[in-house]
């Protein structure tokens, strides 16, 4: 076998079978540059080879959907000729190695995905997971990631309006940094990546190309080990001011009709952007790599093709429009270079110093990308734990104070005060509420945005946990009065080559799919991050959902703060006292056990639609979803936000601690000045509501607990994070 | 005022005929060298300095304040926040001067609430400059608590003497770190910034 003998020793992360496929496609040995291109295009990060077969099962369509998955970001119609364009993306591996730049460039990358499509970004969100607070690296990682997210978003001038953060030892060696951007565009000015047409100029704009980030996509497709710190050179460095210039220049050029196709250079840089454009346009592209603007001397073709230098775009222009485009980019002091042309060969040809450096047929490079049906085993079901099987606290009030000060439930103010969450002047609902509310500039409409996932539920039951992630983000958007439109998802899991991990992926996708269908919130974009393991220890399965909803009239919205004294407090939805997998059980009663709360999607839909309708009817003065920590935490949040107490005098028919801290789904706490009208409307809608008390006073009084002053709740809520970050 | 504002490009060297110059917030040139330092040397700023010195009311907010100190229109410097972290939150300010076109919509000693959003808002001068600022009543706003007291807790960035905004000696140039334009709309959570703009419109129409 002379062929086998000629194999390179390093297949760059490709398998032997994959290499055989490459030999078939090429009809010869690939050279080093060509093999590099196959390696990144067929990496897990770029090809979704382990997840694709399951991702295809997700609902992606609906009358509101203008563009589903497959482009740079998803697009939904928000009326009046406008569209919301959004996506969430992970930057987990780089953020663990170099937290500031890893997180910053995560924000930069997702911003580009959105403005590539013609949208002006109007909001950033994030979902973060860190290791145990006791782990020696955690404080450094929290500080660096938060500073990096803020540093990029603040400088480019897009508000970071919310997100979520959890701490768990399972993330000690693999933190998660998922960044989401939402933008707004005119529906008749949306830009896609298909380079249709031949003889068109291929144009490079933005920053120069350096050696940073080479093989970043490959790094993101492998497990970590103790030597991962040595991968620091594969992390990119962000330049948010250049991105601001690139944003303005792109939007200025997009106002003309000179652009045929545009694609940002993200993971795998010039390789994936050029292949994507050629493949979607069913054309060939020849590029002269000598013409790529370079930051340093002596760069080789494979470095130019694999560099993940930030703040770069590739465009295909209409012929003859180069000068007009060049003038715009030069005004913004950005590089502009015509580096190639489209043709009808359907091949990617790279020229370097007058010779062919690579020549690859595009359709098989894309279509023959491996797709695996990896073996999987379903996560075994756990037993249902009744409310009485979880010990009660001596004093529920003391338990509430302990829980509200804990790492997972305490105030995130220390984080969001480092993000400019008000720039652009449209942040109506600031961080700390259920969903952020961002006004559509110059209108009375707003977008409601939330990111959510409860990894301990997903670990216990991937199907129910997958449903719950969708349901909770849908519920958070609903609690503001907005109507959820669609979601973006970020699937963070361990090594898919292990059947039990693959089983988590399969289950979570099944649950998400069912929930998206039942809640009319299709998946329009997303990202998959696998191999989140260090030395064989996987993260908790963390399929994050980012939900975007539309509020037609900002006059018909609800916040979570108690609004006025003497108003009736209701729980919407049924409370059975489900303590399995609750925060109470985990932190106060010996650890996470049993089955997580089931998600009844029909009930979720009915209860949510009723709450939204009541907000629109003006019957609701405050509204908050019930999630981590149960009713007690929800009530405390509302009291702290309103600086007002409440007397909760309801006599639950179940164990009090289960009633207070149970995490039954599909529930909201609502206040109203019209209890009779509210009850009548609920009855008519077939939605169970229970009046549990009345707002007023300076203390929150819970069943079986003495009054707790709202001030002491606030102090406990605000204490932990700043003290933790200031300690050494 | 019935007129649309004109945007001026940093590379221009002439200003149109205007009643008010506003140097807004942002991250000019990325603030990579030092906040406001590069913008202070952009071609348009020569003309801004000339107009301001000739009496045109000039307002610098946030990065604009940093630019105005860097180009010498206002005394002092804005150092990194004492916390070393970016800070974005609503703060209470005590109004120290009401006899300027910017502040005559407020009352002396009034407490107003508007947000800050900056990394470098820690105002500092040498003792002599501070004394002359105080003697000439050039401090327009100070960070205070809700009861009007100048406490350390109320100071978001470590500014000397809780200074949030300063005037030039003539009173026609104001620089301030907090953002009055961000809370001038009830939907956004407050309107305490609005009187600055209505007062300016009145003063300039007169």
CATH number for the domain harbouring residue B188: 3.40.50.880
* pLDDT over 50 (residue A3): no
What are the tens digits of pLDDT across the range A425-444? 999 999 999 999 999 999 99
pLDDT of B70: 97
Residue of A153, A154, A441 best to disrupt the B interface, most CBs of B under 10 A: A154
What are the tens digits of pLDDT across the range A26-46? 999 999 999 999 999 998 888
Q: CA A466, CA A455: separation in Å to the nearest integer?
A: 9
* pLDDT over 80 (residue A516): yes
In a domain, residue B8? The reply is no
Query: Residues A631, A582: contact at Cβ < 8 Å?
Result: no
* pLDDT over 70 (residue A226): no
Catalytic: which of B70, B71, B119, B181? Answer: B181
Percent of residues, chain A, with pLDDT higher than 90: 91
Taking contacts as CB-CB distances below 8 angstroms, the residues of chain B near A439 are 187
* pLDDT over 50 (residue A1): no
Burial A193-215 (b: 16+ CB within 10 A, else e): bbbeeeebbbbbbbbbbbbbbbb
Residue range A545-558: mean pLDDT, rounded: 97
pLDDT of A321: 96
pLDDT of B2: 73
Looking at the complex, does the CB of residue A147 fall below 8 Å from at least one CB of chain B?
A: yes
Question: Within a 10 A sphere around the Cβ of A373, how many other Cβ atoms?
Answer: 10
pLDDT of A234: 67
pLDDT-derived band at A5, boundaries 50, 70, 90: very low
Burial A400-411 (b: 16+ CB within 10 A, else e): bbebbbbbbbbb
Question: Within a 10 A sphere around the Cβ of A188, how many other Cβ atoms?
Answer: 8
pLDDT-derived band at A220, boundaries 50, 70, 90: low
Cβ separation A422–B188 shorter than 8 A = yes
Q: List Cα–Cα distances, A562 to A412, A698, B85, in angstroms.
A: 20, 12, 31
Give the helix ranges, DSSP H, for A617-709: 630-642, 656-661, 675-685
In a domain, residue B7? The reply is no
Catalytic: which of A91, A421, A616, A624? Answer: A91
Give catalytic status of residue A624 as yes or no. no
pLDDT of A45: 85
Taking contacts as CB-CB distances below 8 angstroms, the residues of chain B near A151 are 86
In a domain, residue B130? The reply is yes
pLDDT of A522: 98
pLDDT of A217: 62
Q: For residue A555, give how far its alpha carbon lies from the nearest alpha carbon of chain B (Å).
A: 9
Nearest CA in chain B to A427: B188
In a domain, residue B5? The reply is no
Three-point CA angle A257, A112, A449, nearest 5°: 110
pLDDT of A12: 86
DSSP secondary structure string for all residues of B56-73? --EEEETHHHHHHHHTTS
In a domain, residue B141? The reply is yes
Largest CA distance in chain A: 86
In a domain, residue B103? The reply is yes
Residue range A209-229: mean pLDDT, rounded: 70
Mean pLDDT, rounded, of chain A: 95
Which residues 6+ apart lie within 8 Å of A117 measured at CB? A67, A71, A72, A73, A75, A85, A183, A185, A190, A191, A192
- C-alpha closest to that of B142 among B179, B202, B95, B177: B95
Question: How many interface pairs between A and B have CB atoms less than 8 angstroms apart?
Answer: 59
DSSP secondary structure string for all residues of A253-311? HHTTT-EEEEEE--TTHHHHHHHHHHHHHT-EEEEEGGGS-BSSSS--HHHHHH---SS
Q: CA A218, CA A168: separation in Å to the nearest integer?
A: 26
- C-alpha closest to that of B166 among B194, B201, B129: B129
In a domain, residue B3? The reply is no
What are the tens digits of pLDDT across the range B146-164? 999 999 999 999 999 999 9
pLDDT of A228: 61
Count up the domains in chain B and report the number. Answer: 1
Question: Within a 10 A sphere around the Cβ of A333, how many other Cβ atoms?
Answer: 10
Enclosing domain of residue B199: 21-205
Residue range A119-134: mean pLDDT, rounded: 98
Three-class DSSP labels, A614-626: HHHCCCCCEEEEC
Q: CA A267, CA A47: separation in Å to the nearest integer?
A: 11
pLDDT of A229: 56
pLDDT-derived band at A13, boundaries 50, 70, 90: confident
Q: Which of B86, B117, B187 sits opposite A554 (nearest CB)?
A: B187
What are the tens digits of pLDDT across the range A575-594? 999 999 999 999 999 999 99
On the 0-12 / 13-18 / 19+ scale of CB atoms within 10 A, A28 is: exposed
pLDDT of A232: 54
pLDDT of A236: 82
- C-alpha closest to that of A91 among A167, A12, A149, A168: A149
pLDDT of A46: 87
Q: CA A295, CA A302: separation in Å to the nearest integer?
A: 15
On the 0-12 / 13-18 / 19+ scale of CB atoms within 10 A, A281 is: buried
Residue range A537-542: mean pLDDT, rounded: 96
pLDDT one digit per residue (tens) for chain B, 206 residues: 678 899 999 999 999 999 999 999 999 999 999 999 999 999 999 999 999 999 999 999 999 999 999 999 999 999 999 999 999 999 999 999 999 999 999 999 999 999 999 999 999 999 999 999 999 999 999 999 999 999 999 999 999 999 999 999 999 999 999 999 999 999 999 999 999 999 999 999 87
Give catalytic status of residue B62 as yes or no. yes
Q: Which two tokens stand for residue B145?
A: 């608590």
Residue range A413-424: mean pLDDT, rounded: 98
For B111-114, which contacts have Cβ atoms below 8 Å and span 24 or more sequence positions?
B111/B144, B111/B146, B111/B148, B112/B192, B112/B193, B112/B195, B113/B183, B113/B190, B113/B192, B114/B90, B114/B178, B114/B179, B114/B180, B114/B182, B114/B183, B114/B190, B114/B192, B114/B193
* pLDDT over 60 (residue A4): no
In a domain, residue B12? The reply is no
Give catalytic status of residue B70 as yes or no. no
* pLDDT over 60 (residue A627): yes
What are the tens digits of pLDDT across the range B122-146? 999 999 999 999 999 999 999 999 9
Query: Residues A382, A461: contact at Cβ < 8 Å?
Result: yes
Residue range A287-314: mean pLDDT, rounded: 94
- C-alpha closest to that of A270 among A322, A221, A324, A213: A213
Residue of A334, A423, A436 best to disrupt the B interface, most CBs of B under 10 A: A423
* Chain centroid, CA B186 distance in Å: 22
Q: List Cα–Cα distances, A341 to A273, A287, A325, A351, A690, in angstroms.
A: 14, 7, 16, 12, 67
pLDDT of A223: 72
Nearest CA in chain B to A144: B85
Q: Which of B115, B182, B187 sits opposite A428 (nearest CB)?
A: B187
Taking contacts as CB-CB distances below 8 angstroms, the residues of chain B near A150 are 86
Residue range A41-54: mean pLDDT, rounded: 90
pLDDT-derived band at A121, boundaries 50, 70, 90: very high
In sign, the C-alpha dihedral spanning A484, A488, A494, A496 is positive
- Which range, of A114-128, A166-180, A358-372, averages the lowest pLDDT? A358-372
pLDDT of B192: 98
Backbone angles phi, psi at A3, to 5 degrees: -60, -50
pLDDT of A6: 64
Query: Residues B162, B155: contact at Cβ < 8 Å?
Result: yes
Q: Which two tokens stand for residue A53?
A: 């077969």
Q: Which two tokens stand for residue A505?
A: 């992926």
Catalytic: which of B62, B96, B119, B144? Answer: B62
pLDDT of A230: 61
Taking contacts as CB-CB distances below 8 angstroms, the residues of chain B near A425 are 181-182, 185, 188
């Amino acid at each position: 076998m002379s062929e086998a003998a000629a194999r390179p020793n390093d297949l760059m992360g490709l398998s032997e079978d994959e290499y055989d496929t490459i030999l078939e496609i090429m009809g010869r040995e690939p050279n080093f540059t060509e093999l590099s291109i196959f390696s990144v295009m067929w990496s897990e990060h770029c090809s979704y080879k382990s997840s694709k077969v399951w991702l295809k099962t997700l609902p992606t369509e609906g009358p509101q959907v203008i563009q589903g998955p497959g482009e740079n970001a998803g697009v939904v119609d928000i009326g009046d000729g406008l569209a919301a364009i959004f996506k969430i993306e992970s930057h987990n591996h780089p953020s663990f190695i170099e937290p500031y730049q890893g997180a910053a460039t995560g924000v930069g990358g997702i911003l580009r995905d959105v403005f590539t499509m013609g949208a002006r970004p109007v909001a950033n969100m994030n979902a973060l997971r860190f290791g145990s607070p006791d782990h020696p690296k955690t404080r450094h990682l929290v500080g660096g990631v938060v500073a990096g997210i803020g540093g990029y978003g603040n400088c480019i001038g897009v508000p970071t309006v919310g997100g979520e953060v959890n701490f768990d030892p399972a993330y000690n060696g693999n933190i998660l940094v998922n960044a989401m951007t939402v933008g707004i565009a005119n529906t008749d000015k949306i830009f896609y990546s298909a380079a249709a047409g031949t003889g068109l100029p291929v144009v490079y704009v933005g920053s120069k190309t350096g050696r940073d980030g080479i093989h970043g996509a490959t790094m993101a497709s492998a497990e970590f080990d103790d030597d991962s710190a040595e991968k620091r050179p594969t992390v990119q460095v962000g330049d948010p001011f250049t991105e601001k210039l690139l944003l303005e220049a792109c939007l200025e050029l997009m106002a003309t009709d000179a652009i045929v196709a545009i694609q940002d250079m993200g993971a795998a840089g010039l390789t994936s952007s050029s292949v994507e454009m050629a493949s979607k346009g069913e054309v060939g592209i020849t590029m002269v790599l000598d013409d790529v603007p370079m930051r340093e001397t002596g760069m080789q073709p494979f470095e130019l093709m694999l560099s993940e230098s930030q703040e770069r775009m590739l465009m295909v222009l209409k012929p003859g429009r180069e000068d007009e485009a060049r003038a715009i980019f030069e005004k913004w002091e950005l590089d502009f270079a015509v580096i190639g042309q489209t043709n009808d060969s359907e091949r990617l040809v790279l020229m370097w110093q007058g010779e062919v450096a690579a020549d690859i047929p595009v359709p098989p490079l894309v279509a023959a990308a491996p797709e695996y049906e990896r073996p999987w085993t379903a996560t075994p079901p756990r037993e249902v734990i009744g409310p009485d099987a979880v010990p009660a606290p001596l004093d529920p009030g003391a338990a509430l104070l302990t829980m509200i000060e804990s790492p997972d439930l305490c105030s995130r103010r220390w984080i969001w005060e480092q993000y400019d969450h008000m720039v652009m002047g449209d942040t109506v609902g600031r961080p700390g509420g259920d969903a952020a509310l961002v006004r559509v500039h110059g209108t009375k409409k707003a977008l409601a945005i939330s990111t959510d996932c409860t990894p301990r539920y997903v670990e216990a039951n991937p199907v129910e946990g997958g449903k719950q992630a969708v349901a909770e983000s849908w519920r958070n958007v609903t609690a503001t009065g907005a109507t959820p439109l669609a979601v973006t998802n970020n699937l963070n899991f361990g090594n898919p080559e292990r059947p039990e991990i693959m089983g988590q992926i399969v289950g979570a996708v099944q649950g998400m799919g069912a929930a998206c269908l039942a809640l009319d919130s299709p998946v329009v974009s997303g990202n998959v991050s696998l191999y989140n393991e260090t030395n064989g220890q996987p993260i908790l399965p963390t399929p994050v959902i980012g939900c975007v909803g539309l509020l037609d009239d900002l006059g018909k919205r609800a916040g979570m703060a108690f609004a006025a004294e003497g108003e009736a407090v209701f729980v919407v939805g049924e409370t059975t006292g489900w303590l399995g997998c609750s925060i109470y059980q985990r932190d106060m009663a010996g650890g996470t056990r049993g089955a997580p709360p089931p998600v009844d999607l029909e009930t979720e839909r009915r209860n949510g639609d009723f709450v939204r309708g009541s907000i629109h009817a003006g019957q609701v003065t405050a509204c908050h979803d019930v999630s981590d920590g149960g009713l007690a935490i929800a009530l405390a949040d509302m009291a702290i936000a309103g600086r007002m107490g409440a007397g909760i005098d309801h006599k639950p028919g179940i164990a009090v601690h289960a009633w207070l801290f149970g995490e039954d789904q599909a529930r909201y706490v609502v206040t109203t000045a019209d209890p009779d009208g509210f009850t009548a409307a609920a009855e008519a809608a077939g939605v169970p509501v229970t009046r549990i008390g009345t707002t007023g006073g300076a203390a929150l009084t819970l069943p079986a607990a003495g009054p707790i002053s709202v001030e002491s709740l606030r102090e406990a809520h605000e204490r932990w994070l700043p003290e933790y970050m200031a300690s050494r | 005022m019935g007129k649309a504002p004109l945007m001026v490009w940093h590379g221009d060297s002439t200003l149109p005929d205007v009643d008010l110059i506003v140097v807004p917030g942002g991250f000019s040139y990325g603030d990579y060298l030092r906040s406001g330092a590069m913008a202070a040397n952009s071609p348009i700023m020569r003309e801004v300095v000339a107009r301001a010195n000739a009496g045109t009311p000039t307002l610098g907010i946030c990065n604009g304040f940093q630019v105005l100190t860097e180009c010498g229109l206002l005394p002092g410097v804005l150092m990194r926040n004492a916390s070393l972290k970016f800070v974005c939150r609503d703060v209470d300010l005590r109004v120290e001067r009401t006899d300027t076109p910017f502040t005559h919509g407020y009352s002396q000693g009034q407490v107003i609430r508007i947000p800050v959003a900056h990394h470098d808002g820690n105002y500092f001068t040498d003792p002599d400059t501070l004394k002359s600022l105080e003697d000439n009543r050039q401090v327009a706003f100070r960070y205070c608590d809700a009861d009007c007291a100048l406490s350390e807790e109320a100071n978001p960035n470590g500014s000397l003497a809780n200074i949030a905004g300063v005037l030039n000696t003539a009173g026609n140039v104001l620089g301030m770190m907090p953002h009055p334009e961000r809370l001038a709309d009830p939907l956004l959570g407050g309107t305490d910034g609005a009187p600055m703009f209505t007062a300016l419109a009145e003063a300039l129409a007169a």
